[in-house]
Structure 1
Amino acid sequence: MPDPSFAAWRLRIEAVLDRALPLATDPPQRLHAAMRHAALDGGKRMRPLLVYATGTAFGASETELDTAAAAVELIHAYSLVHDDLPAMDDDSLRRGKPTVHIAFDEATAILAGDALQSLAFELLADAPVAAAARVAMLRELAIASGPRGMCGGQALDIAATGNADAMRIEDLQRLHALKTGALLRASVRLGALAAAVDADTLQRLDRFGDALGLAFQIRDDLLDLEGDSATLGKTAGKDAAQAKATFPSLIGVEASRARLHELAQIMREALAPLAPRAGKLEALAHQVIQRDR
């Protein structure tokens, strides 16, 4: 039975994003419409859920967490807009609807991604938490988004595309620790920083977040291989078509599933001393392992 908090948080973050995004009727209308197309009405909202689940587990209120949850989702949305561009993955379907450059045009998609990223930091700069926590959260999101995080991972991914045979599993893990894992780990950290957790707890949450990021990517690789576009809400089979290195292509499907089970155990062990307050994080980890889209 899904935790009812997750549905409530998805509705909450949708409302927060709707209020934060500029109206499509305000000029420049095309840019604003593209931003809303990218950020609203879709997605698993895993990153905001991690912010809420972590923060509330350790005493932060939902109101204190709203801006962090919105900021990390806006960064994620911007990354998808740019990732789908013809210069990168050249995709036409995202979250069950046309990608931004298809629905609008390439120039508008680039600007919309840039604007979503800027808005994320604008929101986080006004987070209703202590000043020191706010600066730490800004730093965390910046690192996770930049060359030591998501952008660095995307650069490695572009360089590796078409060269899957030369990729080692250690290289692939590093690539995805940056491209996918950094923002998921940052989502956990943002909630933890808002709640002012102690150093030992933060270390355990980091271990959980690192394992979660890798598990998310392995499951994504398996779904791209075994899923269908209608269920996924994005084009299935793109990895093989673009000769990308994936966990199944490097170590096989069964070994990838075995690695997922190992990561699930790592996450359980990391959270065990934090029970019962970490129950929602455990449930999100289960969702990542078992998801079908």
Structure 2
Amino acid sequence: MHSTKDPQRRGLLLAAGDSIEAAGERFRQAAQQGRLHALDDAEFAVPGISPGEAVRWAYENGMVNTLDGRAVYEQLMAAPADDRCPLCGQGVVRTLDHFLPKRMFPALCVDPLNLVPACADCNHVKGEVFPSQAETTLLHPYLDRIDQDSWLEASVAEGDPVRLDFFVSPPPSWERVLIERTRHHFALFQLAEVFAVQANRTVSGIRRLLAKMLEAGGVDAVRAYLSEEAATRLAHRLNGWEGVTYRTLARNDAFCSGAFDPAQAAVQRSGSVADVLPGGPGS
């Protein structure tokens, strides 16, 4: 927060240095204890500087619009692998989001732990809401590293076309609060819908390939292909929608037997080819 060129502003920011450092330490301790929701925003003011001025001087002018500050900004933006938004796992990183709202917690407005790269959609959805309880505290990408466990699942919903429904399926070892936080995070960012859109597009894109595999090698060939694609993707991202999609499809007997093809699915549902042929009972 020392990059401003105005001597008076610089003096105020320097004088507030100890207070800002203490605020950062309180932030880290609360995060480790799972008590971010219990923080008092009055303890995160910058002495002698209004919240709006602190944010404008330190973040907007000091970090975003200066050469040295911008280098740090760009470094934080480049942190996620493959430019994936760590809040949704799908969008492209376009912004830096303040995990705790910068207007409420101005002393943390340039704290790296409070700056999370995000896609524009997630930044908009998250807004500046502060959690009222532990269960509604969003997952922090730097602190809540839950992807060592498999927690994302999906099911195949019958219909034309076939679609996938995604949901949180936590392992037995997780504590209740972590389960509730994950479900809250999942619901707030509408990840079931986000992932389903992408998964259903994937199904549409491979339908012709699967039809050829089914004709040439039968159900086993289709299942083997889907299983291999699942293993490849899950090795890269254990809870990525891509891997979960292929795994779910590989486990579904109806899909592997041809439910990906609307005509074939109709045959399966009716139990008779005659039901779907022109002039048959279904015509």
TM-score calculated relative to the size of structure 1: 0.23
Bigger helix fraction? 1
TM-score calculated relative to the size of structure 2: 0.23
Bigger strand fraction? 2
- Specify the structure having the higher radius of gyration (Cα): 2
